[in-house]
Structure 1
Amino acid sequence: MISVPGTPCPATPVPARSGDDHPTDTSGASAFSPQLPAVDRSERADRRSQLEAPASTTLPADPTPRDLVRQRQAALHAAEYPPVKVDADAAQFARWLDRFGPDAAAGLAQGRDATRESGKKFAPSYDSALDKFDADMRKIRATARAKRTGISDPTPPTEGEGPSDAVGSTEAGLGQGGRSATPPNDLSPSQKASDLGVSVSPEDIGDESGTRRANLPATDTIVRNVDAEAPTAGSAALKKANKKRDHWHELRIVLQKMTQDDTLSKCGRLPIPGVGRMKLRYQKAKNRTNWVNVRTCRKANLCPVCGNRIRTARGDQLAAAAMAWANPDAKLPAPFDKLRDEKGGGLAMGTFTLKHYRRTPLAHLIKVQRKAWSYAFGRECGKNWQKVRARYGIIGDVRVFETTWGSANGWHPHFHVTYFLARPLTEAQRKELEQILFQRWEKAVGRAGGYTLSRKYGVRLDVPKNGDVEAFARYIAKEMTGLLTKTGQKGRRTPWQIAQDYAETKNPQDMALWAQYEDAIRGVWWLRWSDNLNPLAQHFDGRTEEEIVDASNDEGDEPAAPEPETGPAFIDVLGVRLDAWFQVILKVPTRRLDAQHAFEGSGLTGLRALLESWNLTWGHDVWSDLDDSTPPDFREPAPLPTPPTPHHIPAQHSPHPPTHPQPELFTC
């Protein structure tokens, strides 16, 4: 017993321990080191030395205790998860077989073997600079992932990944052999990759972003009731136009296997109430299709598809408002036209961070962050902050929440805040305001229960360089709303990078991280305009997030206006009965994208061939108005009834808001 000041109890001497007599649990494992099997102490020491030997070369010349701990953790992780050796050639041939068919796959294999025998490197062929950039980024991510986990990629490619696997690539243009006389291993055209003993799941994500596994039959003609011809299947223009769409949809498929959120699991899958069929709609100007009459979750923090649409629209809204605010000739609604200087208003962007450790839960950090903002700049800020706002001309702000995760320090939530100022700040004023912001933020974080902040990383305030407001507005929009397109810095990962890494490595730690993020982010606003700036935001884009998701396409762009010269901008090219949708198309998650690629690359003939290969009956289960194959017995169900508003209660004084009619369709 240790004596405490103010108590009469004397101190009880603590018996001294020898250097080898440290606290242990019942199994004999040390309380200060990772748990090991219950073995003899000398045997455990020999095992540790064997595990640490391979990684000893990674230590610096003068290792610190932290370096030794990290090196030991890496060695133990490498021993627990050893690299898995697979036949890379067999796996690569299986992918080719599922995507291009037996003849083209055999030609590719012969071309690969011939290239290796000649002593040349079998490298991928890129159709555009964008494909080359994506390949380089994948290599960078693989290197960073190997450095982060301490182990190399368990399935390295064998001297390159081979040619592009885009849907619709002709056999004559693949590899060097083209068509082969006989498939290897006496494989018949009706057999599949699984017959070779290689397991290829139809639900797996493609090896390259924007590629699919649909094996479309060759078609001589394209049946399409539109004036413009579609780009060549597999061309660089088609892949570039749909690459982003494919990436977000594939990532949503991965998240729907990981999520516990009910609305995200239904996004893009279930039909909206009151519809009798699913539709595939074609956008002529961009040669792009999308499914309509499906539900959307509209969650910018969770869903990559809905989040991309919402963030793109809100980024454009913020950029337009910022450029108009800084431009003295731009017209603004009252009273904002009188709140800025005659030469134009000023802009600034602040970044507010927290000190955190790897053990700190994300939910606790978000709670501290929100309280600190309220104490420093929100409802509980006090009169001093109002004086600061008047001194530097701060009219209002737009706040965006973001978070990343790093293996060194865990979750990193932060705010990006755009300030609308009455006049631009000088460099001296910028430094003064930055110091004031840090002092208030540091005090508020401590009051909210956070750790002491660092002046270097706590608060940063940026202003336009050399008066280039337009470039600064674009930078603000990208930095504040482009979390889906950004990558974490200094080894950190965004939540969507964590999900993508889980799809590639199946690391259970990534699954646990996403579950923690999903639980902590519930109810958190990702973007908020200050109350006095809401009329300005409504002036540039008054839509709600529901309206943005329902009206935008897969890249977040606005739908094109009808063109009288060339016909309607959108055409419904396919109808699917609900029983066929649930029993066949949703059975394999990637079939929704496969059908879109089929029409975009091979027209109605390719789409029909693909659907019939799924045992769907053309003219009954699926049909198209382009060839008059709509079944005569199909009838659209009557729209859902709208409850009438009581006549004895005036509409403006009704206790319940008026019920809006059922929307005609949602797009996904």
Structure 2
Amino acid sequence: MALRVERFALQAVARDILPKTRTALCLRARIKGSEGVGVWKCEKHGTAHYSGLQTCGSVWSCPICAAKITERRRLEVQDAINQHRQAGGEVQLLTLTTPHGRGDDLGQLIERQSKALQAFYRDFTVRAVLSEMGELGRIRAFEVTHGRKGTNNGWHPHYHFLQFCQVKADAAQLMDWRTRLYLRWDACCQRAGLGSPSFAHGIDLQDGRKADRYISKWGLEDELTRGHTKKGRAGGETPFDLLRAVLADKEDRQAAALFLEFSQCFKGKRQLSWSNGLKARFNQAEKDDQEIASEAVEDAQLLGLLTVQQWRDVLKVKARATVLELAAAGGWPSVSRFLWFIDGAAEGVQFDADMLSEARALLLGDGI
């Protein structure tokens, strides 16, 4: 539940940075025509959730939608890997990155990388190497970090490709492929105006064991899940690390500005891209992010409905996560007691943080 509390807190930060976006309304504004805000509980998982509220479906800007979407994507990818291996196939992990510096504009950097990637996968030598691998298709994951607190090298967008291959390669063969691919990647990057990536940092090619470790990091157990959401390492901050920085220090204007830049540049882009025919090959349904974010949880029961006034009270005291905590732990009775406690908040009744924290603790401990 601690992760959910953090997600709601980070979403509130994102709302302040992106006030005119759907993320600012996500799980706050009611769906037109809804009678109230439903509170549901799934006994199987011991979790609670809302219904009757708008969702933004943004995997990039919304910590709450991102958690739900990335977990579904992880399951899709893992299922494809399992099917491929059961059929005798191999999975490899190819990572491509480019030189980057403190003054780089993220939008321009992404545009140049896109040109380099298109040229790379059209290249005759690259196609020959992929043919030697017996590549049937690939899944591309797009990630970005910022080095303001570490390397000070600015934005670092990079790509991971899960390659579904038919040929099992040893270390020597992987190094041969990596070397040949690097030469073409270097040429494509230079033509796109990106400079020359080093062999050590510009490209990496690993066998299935590395692919397994990478996929395992996509689960909900890894902070806010995957890529731009997880906590950065070695000084690099992910976009949601930037939200954490603003949550910890509202005066961190640099972090807020960087998150705004990231959100604008990544809007509309896909978190994962499957090559043509690969989803059909593994019988994976085509669902967009918004569909996943709006899906109802199976085997959940409606505990009760919050009236419009009660929901306004909840929003006023910033208790969206608290209501779900209470619903999961104590059911509707605990929620009702909390709603009684905060009654009138939207009309001007004052509640300080200590009062709300004490009420939450008492209710979670069944002290009221």
TM-score between the two structures when normalised by the length of structure 2: 0.84
Q: Which has the higher contact order (CA 8 A, sep 6+)?
A: 2
Structure 1 CA distance for aligned equivalents of residues 117 and 218 of structure 2: 20
For residue 44 of structure 1, what is the aligned residue in structure 2? none
Structure 1 CA distance for aligned equivalents of residues 332 and 191 of structure 2: 64
Task: Report the alpha carbon displacement of residue 431 of structure 1 after superposing the two structures with TM.
Answer: 0.9
Q: Is the 8 A contact 1:585 1:591 kept in 2?
A: yes
| Structure 1 residue identity aligned to 2:72 | A
For residue 217 of structure 2, what is the aligned residue in structure 1? 478
Q: Is the 8 A contact 1:308 1:484 kept in 2?
A: no
Q: Output the aligned Cα RMSD.
A: 2.3
Q: Is the 8 A contact 2:186 2:196 kept in 1?
A: yes
Aligned pair partner of 1:280 in 26, 39, 54 = 39
Residues 1:420 and 2:164 are matched in the alignment? yes
Task: Report the alpha carbon displacement of residue 372 of structure 1 after superposing the two structures with TM.
Answer: 0.7
For residue 67 of structure 2, what is the aligned residue in structure 1? 308
Task: Report the alpha carbon displacement of residue 455 of structure 1 after superposing the two structures with TM.
Answer: 1.2
For residue 180 of structure 2, what is the aligned residue in structure 1? 436
Shift of the 373–353 alpha-carbon distance from structure 1 to 2, 3 Å rule, reads: same
Task: Report the alpha carbon displacement of residue 514 of structure 1 after superposing the two structures with TM.
Answer: 1.0
Residues 1:255 and 2:24 are matched in the alignment? no
For residue 355 of structure 2, what is the aligned residue in structure 1? none
Q: Is the 8 A contact 1:418 1:476 kept in 2?
A: no
Unaligned stretches of 5+ in structure 2? 220-224, 346-368
Q: Is the 8 A contact 1:584 1:614 kept in 2?
A: yes
Shift of the 573–393 alpha-carbon distance from structure 1 to 2, 3 Å rule, reads: same
Residues 1:607 and 2:335 are matched in the alignment? yes
Deviates more, 1:261-270 or 1:398-407: 261-270
Residues 1:398 and 2:143 are matched in the alignment? no
Aligned pair partner of 1:502 in 221, 243, 246 = 246
Aligned residues: 336
Task: Report the alpha carbon displacement of residue 599 of structure 1 after superposing the two structures with TM.
Answer: 3.1
Structure 1 CA distance for aligned equivalents of residues 276 and 195 of structure 2: 30
For residue 585 of structure 1, what is the aligned residue in structure 2? 314
Q: Is the 8 A contact 1:299 1:306 kept in 2?
A: yes
Structure 2 CA distance for aligned equivalents of residues 447 and 484 of structure 1: 28
**Could you say what secondary structure the match of 2:39 adopts?**
strand
Shift of the 311–605 alpha-carbon distance from structure 1 to 2, 3 Å rule, reads: closer
Task: Report the alpha carbon displacement of residue 255 of structure 1 after superposing the two structures with TM.
Answer: 1.3
Q: Is the 8 A contact 2:310 2:339 kept in 1?
A: no
Cα deviation, 1:321-363, whole Å, max 9, x if unaligned, reads 11221223xxxxxxxxxxxxxxx11211011111111111111
Structure 1 CA distance for aligned equivalents of residues 188 and 34 of structure 2: 52
Aligned pair partner of 1:324 in 79, 83, 100 = 83
Structure 2 CA distance for aligned equivalents of residues 255 and 282 of structure 1: 26
**Could you say what secondary structure the match of 2:277 adopts?**
helix
Task: Report the alpha carbon displacement of residue 383 of structure 1 after superposing the two structures with TM.
Answer: 3.9
Cα deviation, 1:420-440, whole Å, max 9, x if unaligned, reads 112212222211111122112
Aligned pair partner of 1:573 in 300, 303, 319 = 303
Structure 2 CA distance for aligned equivalents of residues 422 and 600 of structure 1: 46
Shift of the 532–542 alpha-carbon distance from structure 1 to 2, 3 Å rule, reads: closer
Structure 1 CA distance for aligned equivalents of residues 20 and 113 of structure 2: 24
Aligned pair partner of 2:200 in 424, 448, 456 = 456
Task: Report the alpha carbon displacement of residue 457 of structure 1 after superposing the two structures with TM.
Answer: 0.2
| Structure 2 residue identity aligned to 1:290 | H
Task: Report the alpha carbon displacement of residue 541 of structure 1 after superposing the two structures with TM.
Answer: 4.4
Identity %: 25
Structure 2 CA distance for aligned equivalents of residues 460 and 389 of structure 1: 15
Structure 1 CA distance for aligned equivalents of residues 100 and 8 of structure 2: 33
Task: Report the alpha carbon displacement of residue 528 of structure 1 after superposing the two structures with TM.
Answer: 0.2
For residue 536 of structure 1, what is the aligned residue in structure 2? 281
Cα deviation, 1:610-665, whole Å, max 9, x if unaligned, reads 21222269xxxxxxxxxxxxxxxxxxxxxxxxxxxxxxxxxxxxxxxxxxxxxxxx
**Could you say what secondary structure the match of 1:572 adopts?**
strand
Q: Is the 8 A contact 1:346 1:423 kept in 2?
A: yes
**Could you say what secondary structure the match of 2:235 adopts?**
coil
Task: Report the alpha carbon displacement of residue 579 of structure 1 after superposing the two structures with TM.
Answer: 4.6
Cα deviation, 1:465-510, whole Å, max 9, x if unaligned, reads 5xxxxx8435335369722663222211101011101110221111
Structure having the higher Rg: 1
Aligned pair partner of 2:154 in 402, 410, 413 = 410
Q: Is the 8 A contact 2:141 2:159 kept in 1?
A: yes
| Structure 1 residue identity aligned to 2:227 | L
Structure 2 CA distance for aligned equivalents of residues 451 and 247 of structure 1: 39
Q: Is the 8 A contact 2:101 2:154 kept in 1?
A: yes
Deviates more, 1:476-485 or 1:449-458: 476-485
**Could you say what secondary structure the match of 1:349 adopts?**
strand
Q: Is the 8 A contact 1:347 1:419 kept in 2?
A: yes
Structure 1 CA distance for aligned equivalents of residues 213 and 79 of structure 2: 9
Cα deviation, 1:106-139, whole Å, max 9, x if unaligned, reads xxxxxxxxxxxxxxxxxxxxxxxxxxxxxxxxxx
| Structure 1 residue identity aligned to 2:305 | G
Task: Report the alpha carbon displacement of residue 547 of structure 1 after superposing the two structures with TM.
Answer: 3.0
Q: Is the 8 A contact 2:8 2:320 kept in 1?
A: no
| Structure 1 residue identity aligned to 2:119 | Y
Task: Report the alpha carbon displacement of residue 261 of structure 1 after superposing the two structures with TM.
Answer: 5.0
Task: Report the alpha carbon displacement of residue 248 of structure 1 after superposing the two structures with TM.
Answer: 1.7
| Structure 2 residue identity aligned to 1:322 | I
Task: Report the alpha carbon displacement of residue 390 of structure 1 after superposing the two structures with TM.
Answer: 2.0
Task: Report the alpha carbon displacement of residue 382 of structure 1 after superposing the two structures with TM.
Answer: 4.3
| Structure 2 residue identity aligned to 1:585 | V
Structure 2 CA distance for aligned equivalents of residues 599 and 425 of structure 1: 52
Unaligned stretches of 5+ in structure 1? 1-241, 329-343, 466-470, 554-558, 560-568, 618-668
| Structure 2 residue identity aligned to 1:243 | A
Residues 1:520 and 2:265 are matched in the alignment? yes
Task: Report the alpha carbon displacement of residue 247 of structure 1 after superposing the two structures with TM.
Answer: 2.2
Shift of the 261–534 alpha-carbon distance from structure 1 to 2, 3 Å rule, reads: farther
